Amino acid sequence: MDNETFRHWSKVAADWGADYRKSLADFPVRPDLVPGEIDAQLARSAPETGEAMEAIFEDFKTRIVPGMTHWQHPRFFAYFPSNSAPVAVIADYLVTAMASQCMLWQTAPAATELETRVLDWMRQGLGLPDGFSGVIQDSASSATLAAVLVMRERALDWAGNKKGLSGAKPLRIYASDQVHTSIDRAIWFAGIGEENLVRVPSIGPLRSADPTLLKRAIEKDLADGFLPAGIIASVGGTSVGGTDDVEAMCTVAQDHNLYVHVDAAWAGSAMICPEYRHYWQGVEHADSIVFNPHKWLGTQFDLSAHFVKDPASLTKTLAIQPEYLKTQTDGDDRYPLINYSEWSVPLGRRFRALKLWFLLRFHGLEGLRQMIRNHVEWAELLAEKIRATDGFEIVTEPMLSLFTFRYLRTQGESLDDVNLRLINAINKDGRTYLTQTKIDGKFVIRLQIGQFETSPDDVQIAYDAITECAERL
Ligand SMILES: *Cc1c(COP(=O)(O)O)cnc(C)c1O
């Protein structure tokens, strides 16, 4: 593609992006499709000769866009948000145009130094003390895998990478029964084995791992010849927002010299507001913390902020220096040089820091705080309204902007069945999009508010859609 054509189509794409965002509220949040419907419209093999951009762009508009679920829709209340603030989209365009590979300081000096700086802005914004260093990981799953690998290596006196795990005592990792499945997978991939993930029963309204049972489990494991390696605390679990007592978990960890990783992938964004920080009280005692600015804060996938107290334990676990990656620059005491690929599982790295820098500068922390406070307040109001509506109950109270509810009027079928019918009807209706979960054996409908463009009117429309669909069941 020559440069003038590139310029032209970049402008077309920018126009399309602005028009798309403007008209989003008119689309159903999720398309009404059957599997294979999009594939049926796609050529069976790649063309031998190039096609005109007009045709490619037209097919994008007519074949791809109608088959998308619109995560930026102001009434997307499913899962967790995956926001892309317009300012972060612009930064990502620039990044893609440069296509830097930010694995080493030398391959991307400005990207590396900006990453260090902007994560330190973020650290301060979250109220974390000095002494945490940040790195951008592609996902919370990767950050958690890196943390579990550190737990493993630390417990094995740094011998696991060399010798493997055979012959070692079985390692144990502890977490509540509310943690995200990325924890299970990190434990599989680290070779620790799912049977060695000890799930401590959760208690109380926040569904926190019971610290007494946690302590007992560790002591029993020690007596039985296991090797405890670390604890994973959840702050804002995906199902119903399960939140551990981080302070209590860290105290138990200190008694047994265990590494603590905090998964606050969704809820971490809210910690820019001081009034929500009680949810992770004691977090300064943790060794590793991950949260996803690509969820609530608006830096679009993929940007996970990972803070660690001791970067040396991360690089000791993950760094490798083949001849072809050695560079001639080392930095000095004044500015020690960082090669961020030594802090993460993948080698290659996009220039992700730019979109976070643009975002924080454009909105300011105060602008982002206001958005989050609105979402939390609107979720609380909506939960009250649903509670006050005949035939509905709130099953789990709002944790920040996430709560669950269910419908109680059945025509002879079970409550689980009627709620499955209700959520299918709501999602077919298209005005809003919700997902479900199971808690205490009950099928419940989950609702979170977290979209950049959501207004109180959208919340009202979602309420109308829910109650009208229930009436019509
Ligand atoms: C979304 C989420 C994850 C996974 O995040 P990725 O960045 O997609 O890997 C992990 N834990 C919690 C609590 C989450 O909400």
Distance (Å) from CA 43 to ligand 1 centroid: 34
Whether 101 shows a pLDDT value over 70: the answer reads yes
Calculate mean pLDDT across residues 388-412. Answer: 96
The chain-wide mean pLDDT, for the chain, equals: 95
Task: Find tokens 């790195």 and name the residue.
Answer: 135
Looking at residue 43, its pLDDT comes to: 95
**DSSP designation for 75:** T
- Measuring CA to CA, which residue among 146, 147, 167, 141 is closest to residue 156? 167
**Whether 187 contacts 354, CB under 8 Å:** no
Read off the pLDDT of residues 272-325 as tens digits, 9 standing for 90 and up: 999 999 999 999 999 999 999 999 999 999 999 999 999 999 999 999 877 777
Whether 328 shows a pLDDT value over 70: the answer reads no
Which of 79, 144, 148, 263 to mutate to test ligand 1, by most ligand atoms within 8 A of the CB atom?
263
Residue having the nearest C-alpha atom to atom 5 of ligand 1 = 140
Two structure tokens written together for 332:
């000095």
Two structure tokens written together for 24:
């989003």
Burial class (CB in 10 A: 0-12, 13-18, 19+), 336: exposed
- Measuring CA to CA, which residue among 290, 10, 350, 30 is closest to residue 147? 290
Looking at residue 320, its pLDDT comes to: 86
Give 407's contacts (C-beta < 8 A, 6+ positions apart). 391, 392, 415, 418, 419, 422, 445, 470, 473
Q: Is the CB of 202 under 6 A from ligand 1?
A: no
**Percent of the chain whose predicted confidence (pLDDT) is above 70:** 99
Distance (Å) from CA 138 to ligand 1 centroid: 11
**Whether 230 contacts 256, CB under 8 Å:** no
What predicted TM-score, i.e. pTM, was given to this entire model?
Answer: 0.96
Whether 9 shows a pLDDT value over 80: the answer reads yes
Task: Find tokens 């977090």 and name the residue.
Answer: 283
Q: Is the CB of 265 under 6 A from ligand 1?
A: yes
Read off the pLDDT of residues 239-256 as tens digits, 9 standing for 90 and up: 999 999 999 999 999 999
Q: 3-state DSSP call for residue 335?
A: coil
Residue 382 binned pLDDT confidence (cut-offs 50, 70, 90): very high
**Whether 304 contacts 340, CB under 8 Å:** no
Using CA atoms, how far residue 123 sits from 116, 120, 236, 298, 308, in Å, is: 10, 5, 19, 17, 11
Q: How far apart are the first and last CA of the chain?
A: 54
Distance (Å) from CA 357 to ligand 1 centroid: 22
Looking at residue 327, its pLDDT comes to: 74
- Measuring CA to CA, which residue among 311, 341, 309, 344 is closest to residue 141? 344
